[in-house]
Structure 1
Amino acid sequence: MHSNDLEYVGFWPRVGASLIDMLLQLAIMLPLTYAVYGRFSQPGRMFMGFGDFFLNMLVPAAVVIAFWVYKSATPGKMALSARIVDADTGAPLTTSQSVIRYLGYFVSLIPLGVGFFWVGFDRRKQGWHDKMANSVVVRPGGVEPVRFQSKSDWRNPPPQEPRF
């Protein structure tokens, strides 16, 4: 698929995709959390140790990053036929880009979520997490085609000069 056949995915479709992802994550994590902690957690304790951190932070992060690396989208974005790709080449994200993008969610969230709302105002529909990871979210069709900065084919990139 050529870049002219793609469009950037805006704020509201991405909100919809996030809601789908949140519901799927809730459907998986709620029974798992219930199985681990029982019906009630210990009163007055917010943090239950490494297991709590692993279950509630690392597992969801690993799953989301794996979806980005291997499928170029989470299930919510797949429902929209959207993909997360490198902003310059249109290639799938690398693992390091995916980790940076995930960590960028926290940066986008800190100032009252402004980094997420940025998608609605940016020319390339990038949130701060996208800018940090050099990624864009695209899907087939649209009036305004995607223009990747690099015209090279990402499958056969030209040799690059070393950067110092």
Structure 2
Amino acid sequence: MMAAITENYQYVGFWERFAATMLDVLLILLLTLPLSFWIYGDRLFYDNSLVHGPADVIINYLLPPVLVLVFWRYRAATPGKILIKAKIVDANSGGKPSMRQWLIRYFAYIPATLPLGLGLLWVAFDARKQGWHDKLAGTLVIKQDKS
């Protein structure tokens, strides 16, 4: 059921969210790739290991989720969403989501992507433009206020 407070929101659709995500991925790569190359050198490109060493775990497996969660917590958006003037809100109150919601939203990307990305494509067809990760976390992605 849609709460009355969310009726006037402009939901952010699939293509805008896709563009914001691509920008976020590019920014993360611009940070993690040079760091990884600095530590592991050419081995980074020709060694097909999933993990190259302890620094790889920190740089490529821990740093990105920490950065995303910090941006969500303090800005309610990643840099890509900030650029498109979008923010993530609690679906019921319209307020800032809780840390629990942020964590659920982040880890809910896993089931959202597993069935050929259907949970992410869901944004294109859902009335409130929620992906499965949004539904599981109880969040919405909306346009920022004009003020």
TM-score bin, normalised by smaller chain = 0.7 to 0.9
AA in 1 matched with 2:106: Y
Number of aligned positions between the proteins? 140
**Residues 75-94 of structure 1 correspond to what in structure 2 (within 5 A)?**
75-94=79-98
Alignment partner of 1:23 is 2:26: yes
Question: Partner residue of 2:120?
Answer: 116
Alignment partner of 1:53 is 2:42: no
Q: Structure 1-normalised TM-score?
A: 0.78
CA-based RMSD of the aligned residues comes to 1.8
Q: Report which structure shows greater RCO (CA 8 Å, sep ≥6).
A: 1
CA contact (8 A) 2:12 2:129 kept: yes
Match 1:12 to one of 12, 15, 19: 15
AA in 2 matched with 1:84: I
Q: Separation in 2 of the partners of 1:4 and 1:87?
A: 10
Q: CA deviation at 1:4?
A: 6.2
Q: Separation in 1 of the partners of 2:65 and 2:13?
A: 23
Q: CA deviation at 1:50?
A: 4.0
CA contact (8 A) 1:6 1:140 kept: no
Q: Separation in 2 of the partners of 1:60 and 1:17?
A: 15
CA contact (8 A) 1:21 1:76 kept: yes
Q: CA deviation at 1:13?
A: 0.5
Question: Partner residue of 2:139?
Answer: 135
Q: CA deviation at 1:43?
A: 3.5
Q: CA deviation at 1:19?
A: 1.1
| Structure 1: gaps (5+ residues) | 142-164
CA contact (8 A) 1:5 1:140 kept: no
Alignment partner of 1:125 is 2:129: yes
Q: Separation in 2 of the partners of 1:49 and 1:38?
A: 12
How big is each residue's C-alpha offset from its partner over 1:6-45, in whole Å with a ceiling of 9 and x where there is no partner? 3000101101111111111111111111112112237453
Question: Partner residue of 2:35?
Answer: 32
Q: Separation in 2 of the partners of 1:79 and 1:44?
A: 35
AA in 2 matched with 1:31: P
Percent same amino acid at aligned positions? Answer: 42
Larger radius of gyration: 1
Q: Separation in 2 of the partners of 1:121 and 1:3?
A: 18
Q: Structure 2-normalised TM-score?
A: 0.87
